[in-house]
Structure 1
């Protein structure tokens, strides 16, 4: 059920509206805020993913980096994270990014949280 505050309730899970589907094109990413968290939302191979928007190695906004296929590169030290599961693909980072559940429904993108 969608309420007037821009949230979607599915069972015990609350999802927050973050973007329209057409605002996240294939191979592109945007930065959004869910609660107090800064996230990167990106579309890769038709699927939308959401991860922490701040690099786990050194404070840097990942939206300022590059997205190549499923690899999200930090603009500061070029650490690479897999946008699909937050795992570190290439250092210097050694801590993965948190991953957030995403629902794309009727032209809208919702992130759990």
Structure 2
């Protein structure tokens, strides 16, 4: 892969359907979600309280924070339910040869 801005994160098969996993990647705490066959990536730490979203509950395209039950849309990181008001950072995802690549940026 010649594009240096994409980081190899994991094997696509390691992300279970309708679930979330957490991983550490290049200094980032990342949550990976698989919904309807698509993989999405966001920061793994809730913007409201210091809770790991990979410990939360994924329902459809929304992840529920395990601490205060706020929700985010995993497709775009948008805060969808109080008490969260600040969106999550979302990372572009690319699947190539069965591998998940993320564009982490700075």
**Same-fold call, TM > 0.5?**
yes
Paired residue for 2:95?
Answer: 104
Residue 43 of structure 2 is aligned to residue 52 of structure 1: yes
* TM-score normalised to structure 2 length: 0.92
Residue 67 of structure 2 is aligned to residue 70 of structure 1: no
Map 1:17-28 → 2, pairs under 5 A = 17-28=8-19
Output the CA distance in 2 between the equivalents of 1:43 and 1:88.
18
Paired residue for 2:76?
Answer: 85
* TM-score normalised to structure 1 length: 0.87
Q: List alignment gaps of at least 5 residues for structure 2.
A: none
Output the CA distance in 1 between the equivalents of 2:24 and 2:93.
14
Runs in 1 of length 4+ with deviation above 2 angstroms? none
Could you say what the CA RMSD is over the residues aligned between the two structures, in angstroms? 1.1
Offset, 1:59: 0.4
Q: List alignment gaps of at least 5 residues for structure 1.
A: 2-8
Which protein shows a greater Rg?
A: 1
Paired residue for 1:6?
Answer: none
Does the residue aligned with 1:85 lie in a helix, a strand or coil? coil
Offset, 1:66: 0.4
Offset, 1:28: 1.5
Offset, 1:107: 0.7
Output the CA distance in 2 between the equivalents of 1:65 and 1:25.
15
Offset, 1:21: 1.1
